[in-house]
Amino acid sequence: MATIQSPMQRCNAVLRAFGARYRLREHRRSPWITVYQLGKGGTTREHTVKGYAAADPEAIESLQDLLIEATRSGKPAVLPDGQEDLASTDSSAPTWPEICAAVVAFQRGQGVNMNLVGPFKGKGYFCLLPADRPATEADVRRFALHSSESLKARLEDPTAPLIPMATHRQGFRQKREVVSLLRRAGYGAIAPESLSEELKGMVNRKKGALVAAGESRRRIPSTTAVQEWLDQVVEEDPLWGWVFAMVATYGLRPHEVWHIAELPDEQGMVSIGVAARHIKVTKTGFRVALPLPAEWVERYQLGGANGEQRLEELRRRYVPKFVNEDGQPFDPDRDLVKRCDNNERLGAVCCHKLRSSDAKAEFELKTKLYAWVETAPAQGKKKAQKRKERCVPYDLRHAYAIRARETTTWNYADVAAVMGHSPEVHRRKYLSEITGEQTKASVARRMLGDQSEAA
């Protein structure tokens, strides 16, 4: 049976998401709503608002709007009928225990990527900061710029050195997303946009240098190279050969392999996720994907008994964690809302299999996938230079997008739909590495295909 929130519970969830320091409460001995304000160290100030019944949803919504406006303006919340005003939110800046609880609740309400709230739960970094002082931007900056090990060492020993976080590591990207999460949860004062731009710039310095030198930012393997590589991987490790064949054939995000609802049918189509608004187990929800090239479905036995066996084995080895809207283990007999809580972790397993500085070498596949990367001509040379670089799982997804542009007559919207993103994202990100020869082949197929067939 689904869990149903009361109007007051929904109101408190909204206030928490906005970063408000107010909450509503119902007392057993009074019919009126009580507004209480969170203070430093867990202290509260309570005010009973007479005339606003706790059983009246409209009264609850009216107070909710009033308190949100007070939070946005930083001015005292003016209670109705000349009652005592609540102090403004600026009089007492939020502390880390309050922020941690609010951020976890906010992200849980979004239903995506609960891995990001690690620093806000249990023994996460922000939970270890002093609870008796307001949170500051300096706390967030320190977290974003330094390694987790040195941060915790500094908490135990104030003289311990802080070690800068390497911008090429997976952990640095996650730190950037944590800063963004704080801002989206309503704490832009301590996680401003300028900090996110600064962190983005640190990563983009290397990318900018590559672009200035004429180097590709993506390693896009050719269809022939992918097929030859998959043939070897299937022999080396049948399970991971099947996984990466699914990613390459359908242009999937790595974590989406775990959430295949229907394996290839007679037309080769697969279903990803669940077609219900309240169930979102993948990044962009339910969709249907098409194979490209279609012959890979049979070549790598993606469907049928082999597909069912591989999918079951994958889910058994690396178990998806499903939760309800409150972050509790999902119970189909009780819960309506269903989310996957560890998609990022599942995707990381695929990354470690191919290439990752965070993984142990013995965990990687022995057979590597390479792509040619073109660089600007060396000084005094006229021709561009090329070199081989190792690929990551997302390169297979980008290769699918370019293959669709080169070998089919599908338009942007069609390809974007089967890949699970917008046409603008598809054009701006997924086709940025298409070569002149591939563009020519695409134009010939789309514009001249009908004429050649007619002839």
Instruction: Give the CATH number of the domain where residue 297 resides.
Output: 1.10.443
Residue 188 lies in a domain: yes
The domain boundary, picked from 39, 60, 91, lies at 91
Total number of domains in the chain: 3
Residue 369 lies in a domain: yes
135 with 74, same domain: the answer is: no
Q: What per-residue confidence (pLDDT) applies to 452? A: 43
230 with 323, same domain: the answer is: yes
256 with 385, same domain: the answer is: yes
Q: What per-residue confidence (pLDDT) applies to 90? A: 41
Side-chain half-sphere CA neighbours of 351 within 13 A: 15
151 with 23, same domain: the answer is: no
User: What whole-number distance in Å separates Cα of residue 183 and Cα of residue 140?
Assistant: 11
Residue type, 244: F
Contact (CB, 8 A) for 3 and 325: yes
* C-alpha distances in Å from residue 231, one per residue of 90, 241, 243, 269, 390: 62, 8, 13, 22, 17
Which residues have C-beta within 8 Å of that of residue 74, sequence separation ≥ 6?
88, 89, 90
185 with 306, same domain: the answer is: no
Query: Comparing C-alpha atoms, which of 117, 126, 33 is closest to residue 77?
Result: 33
Residue 106 lies in a domain: yes
The domain boundary, picked from 212, 238, 254, lies at 212
Q: What is the pTM of this model?
A: 0.60
148 with 175, same domain: the answer is: yes
391 with 292, same domain: the answer is: yes
Kind of pairing between the strands at 44-53 and 270-272? unpaired
Residue 1 lies in a domain: no
Length of the chain as a residue count: 455
* C-alpha distances in Å from residue 249, one per residue of 257, 308, 359, 390, 418: 12, 17, 25, 19, 12
Residue whose tokens read 């993103």:
421
* C-alpha distances in Å from residue 342, one per residue of 17, 27, 49, 405, 442: 22, 38, 42, 32, 38
* C-alpha distances in Å from residue 1, one per residue of 4, 6, 323, 334, 366: 9, 15, 15, 4, 48
SS3 content of the chain, % helix, strand, coil (to 5): 50, 15, 35
- Other C-beta atoms closer than 10 Å to the C-beta of 6 total 13
- Digit-by-digit pLDDT tens for the chain (455 residues) are 445 678 888 888 888 777 777 888 877 667 888 887 766 545 556 677 777 888 888 888 888 888 888 777 766 666 665 454 554 444 457 889 989 988 888 877 765 566 778 899 888 899 989 887 788 888 999 999 998 889 988 888 888 899 998 876 667 888 888 898 898 888 888 988 888 888 888 876 655 555 555 444 678 899 999 999 999 999 999 999 999 999 999 999 999 999 999 999 989 999 998 877 777 788 888 899 999 999 999 999 999 999 999 999 999 999 998 888 777 788 888 888 888 888 888 888 888 888 755 556 677 888 989 888 766 555 556 666 677 888 889 999 999 999 998 888 888 888 999 999 888 888 888 877 777 676 777 777 666 765 444 34
What's CA 295's distance to the chain center, in Å?
A: 32
Residue 256 lies in a domain: yes
Which residues have C-beta within 8 Å of that of residue 319, sequence separation ≥ 6?
none
Q: What per-residue confidence (pLDDT) applies to 38? A: 67
391 with 247, same domain: the answer is: yes
User: What whole-number distance in Å separates Cα of residue 72 and Cα of residue 85?
Assistant: 16
User: What whole-number distance in Å separates Cα of residue 242 and Cα of residue 357?
Assistant: 24
291 with 423, same domain: the answer is: yes
Q: Which domain holds residue 110?
A: 96-212
317 with 420, same domain: the answer is: yes
* C-alpha distances in Å from residue 106, one per residue of 15, 44, 345, 426: 10, 22, 20, 29
Residue 13 lies in a domain: yes
Residue 84 lies in a domain: yes
207 with 263, same domain: the answer is: no
Q: What per-residue confidence (pLDDT) applies to 357? A: 54
Q: What per-residue confidence (pLDDT) applies to 312? A: 95
Q: Is 126 exposed, middle or buried (0-12, 13-18, 19+ CB in 10 A)?
A: buried
Residue 2 lies in a domain: no
Structural tokens at position 161: 């050195």
108 with 233, same domain: the answer is: no
Residue whose tokens read 């980008």:
398
The domain boundary, picked from 180, 212, 244, lies at 212
Q: What per-residue confidence (pLDDT) applies to 53? A: 85
Where are the extended beta strands (E) located within 338-398?
A: 338-340, 370-375, 385-390
User: What whole-number distance in Å separates Cα of residue 96 and Cα of residue 20?
Assistant: 14
